[in-house]
Amino acid sequence: MWECQAWLSSLTYTCRSAIAVGSLIRFWDRAPLTVKRSVGRVVIPCGPPTCHGFCYGSESAIYAIGFAAKPPAARAARAGRHNDRALPRNAPVLVLWVDAFWVYRGDKLTLTITGPDGERFHRYSNEIKANKARQFLFSGRKKKSLFWPAGEYRGEAVLIRKRADGKTVTLVARQTVTLK
């Protein structure tokens, strides 16, 4: 596996040496990724399911998903500052965020949060209005009492695309957080 210490630049990574398509690469802040396209030292990755990068013949992917105790800034979430697996029960809000690559006009991106009792308590859907290389989206709910109920909360992001040939492509990413 190649080690690359590079920052995400648009949708490509620049590594210190040329890397072949199909190679596994690891960045300091990411799970291992498979090189989908390579031009010398510049690579476009497609990750394994562990990093939520599901590729279906294009570079579209739900790249990252997480929970936050406040509305997150895209740059902070991408830097890993909103990847906690546990949050305090007195957090003012519970927010699910998602970072997706290559979304297209007409795609539907839905965020759902399910509480520890198994009941869905928040859902937000957004239809993409224009083609974008990257889409950062978050949604959540304010705390209504002194504390959130303790337990594991599940978040799910679903990207649905209806293709011109009539087929539907669905990308799904899930994450959990424990409120203590």
Every domain of the chain with CATH number 2.60.40 lies at: 61-179
pLDDT tens digits for range 27-84: 444 455 555 555 554 555 544 333 333 333 346 778 788 999 999 998 888 877 887 7
What pTM was computed for the model?
Answer: 0.68
Q: Which pLDDT does position 75 carry in this prediction? A: 86
Using alpha carbons, select from 51, 82, 57, 89 the residue that is nearest to residue 68. 82
Distance CA 139, CA 54 (A): 22
Distance CA 121, CA 3 (A): 41
Distance CA 149, CA 136 (A): 28
Distance CA 126, CA 129 (A): 9
pLDDT tops 90 at residue 12 = no
Q: Which pLDDT does position 59 carry in this prediction? A: 61
3-state SS class at 77: helix
- Give the CA count within 13 Å in the CB-facing half-sphere of 103: 26
Q: Look up the CATH architecture of domain 61-179.
A: Sandwich (2.60)
Question: Across all residues in the chain, what is the average pLDDT?
Answer: 76
Enter the tokens of residue 23. 């190679």
Distance CA 126, CA 100 (A): 13
DSSP secondary structure of 7-70: --BTTBEE-SS---TT-EEEETTS--EEEEEEETTEEEEE--GGGT---SSSS-EEEEEEEESS
pLDDT tens digits for range 139-159: 999 998 899 999 999 999 999
Distance CA 56, CA 115 (A): 31
pLDDT tops 90 at residue 103 = no
